[in-house]
A = this chain, B = another copy of it.
């Protein structure tokens, strides 16, 4: 990615480059260095942010970052002030998942350290989240820290961020600041993992000598790539019942459109993994379901596990992806393509870039010259989710069915952790954002706001348990302030139901019952309570027609959970119970 570089000189330089014969573009770096311009550190930084396609940042101001906020105000970037720093991370993470970069601006200590969990989540889930923190002036840093917001020493926060980010920079030296900024941007987007930039207060308006960065060299296609691609094509030619198994890295590296093109070229059935849910649009005719081992739709399981070729693109076979290692993906059938390598049977091709691999596969399967490979699509019924017979009370099954009736390309589904996540697995949606791997509660509401800001054409349907809502649900205030209208579906079972189901009923799993509808009103939004399927239906209708935030307090009985969670807790509960003796 090129450096943000908006000055006139830079423009003239580009025009100059464009007018040269093509070969001369390979200017030596020395030649480039000559083209310098003076820019304030903050201006350079915000230009890079804007050039990455970001139009909104998230944060909470505080004295160590006030100069940066003031500098930001002079740019065209919008900024959203959240209520609490953990939410800053979640909102910017969701934004990042949709836009390729999300930015959080926080103050030192109380700000930065207050969002370590959100950044850890983004690391584990591979989201390109960039956190920028202000910090004390460079001239103080040699002294003993007796400033507010300091913990052990001036490096505490930097050291902590090192543990949860891919790259870090402390911009204390004007001579290297530009390179440091560039490095963190590049790493953050290349690995789709968080980066951290710390800016001492006296550096914000420092005039840097900024230089145009050399155009980044194109990666040459590797021999390993050629070989891997040919093995895949050969295996496709032999296959009777192949399936594309699409995972989370497709979303992370922004390859969704390419995978759609490949699926269409092959007319091949596509399933997604659990973390990869909606990495392939679920309204697409090739889409055949979510594969979640023995916890998911049994028909999808049957189809995938009997396939003679499982071409996995960007799945990461974690505990969760393999449904607690219940997934049966025989090495004989599986070709596993991840961000940087391909494993077929028992051999691995290293250094194979997923993007290049998919590009080549598309080339080879759509080319007029080659014999066209076309498969046929099975018809796999979505799991029938049936409310218990004659149940007058609202159940999760009713909610799933009614939400599916409403689903369209106007919505994105964003979920917290708890049964809402497993219920969410049964929703048919093209966009699904959740912390399915790291599993931190509190993600849902702030992430739903971040997602809708990233893509205003899709209204967020936020699924959240009462436990998760009690952590960060107040963030609905931010949606109300911004005048955006997510729909919050609150799975209210008055308990930490997931824990209760893997263990047993205990006092410390009980939650206070809040009047969530009244609470939404207290914050200036709309809220209703639904206790029956009819009330829930009406509530959804009202939500759909509302142009402001709408919260539905869905009161479900204590012992009602989704079919997926029931299978999952049956499985994990045994382990947990064994450890509680």
Q: How far is the CB of A459 from chain B (nearest CB, A)?
A: 21
Q: Knowing A123-B151, A474-B470 are in contact, say whether A113-B61 is a contact too (CB < 8 A).
A: no
Q: How far is the CB of A9 from chain B (nearest CB, A)?
A: 23
Among listed A290-298, A334-342, A518-526, interface-contacting one = A518-526
A86 located at the interface, meaning its Cβ lies under 8 Å from any Cβ of chain B in the complex: yes
Among listed A312-320, A355-363, A400-408, interface-contacting one = A312-320
Q: How far is the CB of A258 from chain B (nearest CB, A)?
A: 26
The answer to whether A63 touches B576, judged by C-beta atoms less than 8 angstroms apart, is yes
C-alpha spacing A70/B515, complex, angstroms:
30
Q: Which of B502, B508, B512 contacts A63 (CB 8 A)?
A: B502
Please count how many residues in chain A sit with their CB below 8 Å of the partner chain's CB atoms. Answer: 83
The residues in A between 490 and 528 inclusive whose CB is less than 8 angstroms from any CB of B are: 496, 499, 502-503, 506, 508-509, 512-516, 518-519, 521-524
Q: Which of B85, B522, B581 contacts A515 (CB 8 A)?
A: B522
The answer to whether A439 touches B148, judged by C-beta atoms less than 8 angstroms apart, is yes
C-alpha spacing A201/B577, complex, angstroms:
12
Residues on B with C-beta less than 8 A from A66 are 499, 502-503, 576, 579-580
The answer to whether B148 touches A164, judged by C-beta atoms less than 8 angstroms apart, is no
Q: How far is the CB of A6 from chain B (nearest CB, A)?
A: 20
The answer to whether A110 touches B152, judged by C-beta atoms less than 8 angstroms apart, is no
By beta carbon, the residue of chain B nearest A204 is: B579
A387 located at the interface, meaning its Cβ lies under 8 Å from any Cβ of chain B in the complex: no
A52 located at the interface, meaning its Cβ lies under 8 Å from any Cβ of chain B in the complex: no
Q: Which of B61, B316, B437 contacts A508 (CB 8 A)?
A: B61
Q: Which of B67, B156, B442 contacts A163 (CB 8 A)?
A: B156
The answer to whether B160 touches A61, judged by C-beta atoms less than 8 angstroms apart, is no
Q: Which of B117, B151, B438, B499 contacts A124 (CB 8 A)?
A: B151
A25 located at the interface, meaning its Cβ lies under 8 Å from any Cβ of chain B in the complex: no
A residues engaging B (CB < 8 A)? 61-63, 66-67, 69-70, 73, 79, 81, 83-86, 109-110, 113-114, 116-117, 120-121, 123-124, 146-152, 156, 159-160, 163-164, 201-202, 204-205, 316-320, 437-442, 470-474, 477-478, 480-481, 496, 499, 502-503, 506, 508-509, 512-516, 518-519, 521-524, 572, 576, 579-581
25 intermolecular pairs with C-beta atoms under 8 Å apart: A61-B499, A63-B499, A66-B502, A69-B506, A79-B508, A83-B470, A83-B471, A84-B86, A85-B117, A109-B438, A110-B440, A123-B152, A124-B150, A147-B319, A148-B319, A148-B437, A149-B440, A160-B164, A205-B581, A470-B477, A478-B512, A514-B522, A515-B521, A518-B521, A522-B522
